[in-house]
Structure 1
Amino acid sequence: MALDLKDTANLFVNSIGTAVKNVTGQDAPAIEGFAQNQLQSLAHQSALITGMIEANQFTDDELKFYLIGLKQMAMGFAQTLIGMIVVEVQRLFNAIVTAIYTSINTLAKVALPLPV
């Protein structure tokens, strides 16, 4: 019996959509929480440095030291966020491939192994 292509395509849409929602639903709040905490830290440190500059409380060397630290803090945040996103993309890819292969196996009544 031939599969109805519209129904089959809808099954894949639902399967892939569910896989994506499961991964992003778990990870997005954690990534967002991390980003929010880091942004708050960067904003607070920036405000402190601005206040010290405005009050003329830094020597030239101290100002350079604190600005370098702020730059390193921002770079660390960006690099960590990029790493988290790369991991998230890999998890999404794995979930999508698993959903596709599972659906194929169910519909075609086969046992294709998941790609490595």
Structure 2
Amino acid sequence: MALNLTDTADLFVNNIASAVRNVAGQDVTTVEGFSQTQLQSLAQQSALITGMIEANEFTDDERDFYLIGLKQMAMGFAQTLIGIVVVEVEKLFNAIITAIYQSINTIAGAALPLPV
């Protein structure tokens, strides 16, 4: 039996898109909540430091100490986001490969194992 390649390609598109939506939809809320919390903390810390500098409440060493801490806080936030993105890409890749192999198995009546 010859496959209609247009219909088959459409099936793959639908299955892959569904797999991506399932993975991304679950994690977007988590990442968004984490990001909002961290951004709020960075903003509040920045405002506090700005207020103290403006009021001339810090010595030069204290100001530098708090600014270094703020820089480290921002770097930690950025590095955590990078880690989350790396994990998300891996999860998306796995979902896409699974959808492709399941579609092949269903359409072709095969039993191909998922690649490792």
Instruction: State the TM-score, normalized to the length of structure 1.
Output: 0.99
1:15-26, aligned counterparts within 5 Å? 15-26=15-26
Match status 1:93 vs 2:88? no
In structure 2, runs of 5+ residues without a counterpart are none
Partner of 1:67: 67
- Structure 1 stretches of at least 4 aligned residues deviating more than 3 Å after TM superposition: none
1:28-67, aligned counterparts within 5 Å? 28-67=28-67
CA displacement at 1:77 relative to structure 2: 0.1
Identity of aligned residues (%): 77
Q: Deviations over 1:19-67 (max 9, x none)?
A: 0000001000100110111000000000000000000000011001000
| 3-state SS in 2 of match to 1:37 | helix
CA distance in 2, matches of 1:25, 1:5: 29
In structure 1, runs of 5+ residues without a counterpart are none
Provide the aligned length of Structure 1 versus Structure 2: 116
CA distance in 2, matches of 1:58, 1:11: 64
CA distance in 2, matches of 1:64, 1:51: 14
| 3-state SS in 2 of match to 1:48 | helix
Q: Deviations over 1:80-102 (max 9, x none)?
A: 00000000000000000000000
| 3-state SS in 2 of match to 1:56 | coil
Instruction: State the TM-score, normalized to the length of structure 2.
Output: 0.99
CA distance in 1, matches of 2:103, 2:14: 10
CA displacement at 1:75 relative to structure 2: 0.2
Partner of 1:5: 5
